[in-house]
């Protein structure tokens, strides 16, 4: 069983613009040093190389394209970002959906590069479909709860349990994590008790008054 995964998605919030991305990443790193949880940061695309050069914890892209190195202006190419120290990526986030066929190609490319693929799904039925592609993780996030402050673990606990059941019979190596609306340790504890093997959080961390205290609160809840 993999250790719990804690992904902090910075999105493109003003609170982490420019060098503030490095500040948040270093804060996460300081918590990771004393935690048994794998803490990963996913800064804005423009900050990827800068952040990766400043911290030792894993840095993921928020999105990558299935595109080749070379004459591919404007695309985020997996082989290129890996050279900057990026070790994985979110794929198919609700705010950046891509076709099913492209998801499969990206998963295979990332795994060939020994990078981690975290594929996002909106429903348990979508989790089941995506499990056939064998990503490393599937993040279940009902889009209506993203950024709402209403955690999926409380509002729709069945979404987590059904997602876990949808994956396990197909491939027990795939870990299900959850996100959407997580704001405190109680939300995290509830998710873990429902079978989630980690969390994907954005505004619950980025918009917190005290980044370190909030990250530690979430990490501690994952260890209980």
Please indicate whether residue 141 is annotated as part of the active site: yes
What are the helix (H) ranges across 44-116? 48-52, 78-83, 100-112
Q: What phi, psi does 89 have (nearest 5°)?
A: -160, 150
How many CA within 13 A on the CB side of residue 173?
Answer: 6
**Three-class secondary structure of residue 200 per DSSP:** strand
Give me the catalytic one of 15, 93, 217, 223. Answer: 93
**Three-class secondary structure of residue 128 per DSSP:** helix
Gap between the Cα atoms of 33 and 190, Å rounded: 24
The two tokens of residue 54 are 């400043």
Give me the catalytic one of 15, 29, 141, 217. Answer: 141
Gap between the Cα atoms of 153 and 156, Å rounded: 6
Residues tagged active-site: 93, 141
């Amino acid at each position: 069983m993999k250790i719990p995964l804690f992904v902090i998605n910075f999105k493109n919030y003003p609170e982490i613009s420019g060098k503030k991305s490095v500040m948040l990443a270093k804060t996460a790193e300081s918590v990771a040093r004393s935690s048994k949880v794998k803490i990963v940061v996913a800064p804005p695309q423009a900050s990827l190389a800068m952040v990766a050069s400043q911290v030792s914890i894993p840095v993921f892209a928020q999105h990558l394209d299935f595109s080749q190195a070379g004459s591919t202006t404007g695309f985020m190419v997996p082989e290129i970002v890996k050279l900057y120290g990026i070790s994985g990526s979110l794929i198919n986030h609700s705010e950046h959906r891509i076709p099913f066929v492209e998801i499969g190609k990206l998963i295979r490319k990332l795994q060939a590069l020994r990078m981690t693929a975290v594929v996002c799904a909106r429903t348990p039925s979508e989790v089941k479909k995506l499990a056939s592609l064998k990503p490393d993780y599937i993040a279940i996030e009902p889009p209506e709860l993203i950024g709402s402050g209403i955690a999926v673990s409380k509002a729709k606990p069945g979404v987590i349990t059904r997602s876990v059941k949808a994956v396990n019979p197909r491939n027990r190596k795939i870990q299900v994590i959850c996100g959407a609306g997580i704001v405190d340790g109680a939300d995290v504890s509830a998710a873990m008790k429902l079978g989630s093997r980690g969390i994907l959080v954005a505004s619950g961390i980025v918009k917190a008054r005290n980044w370190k205290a909030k990250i530690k609160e979430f990490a501690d809840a994952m260890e209980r």
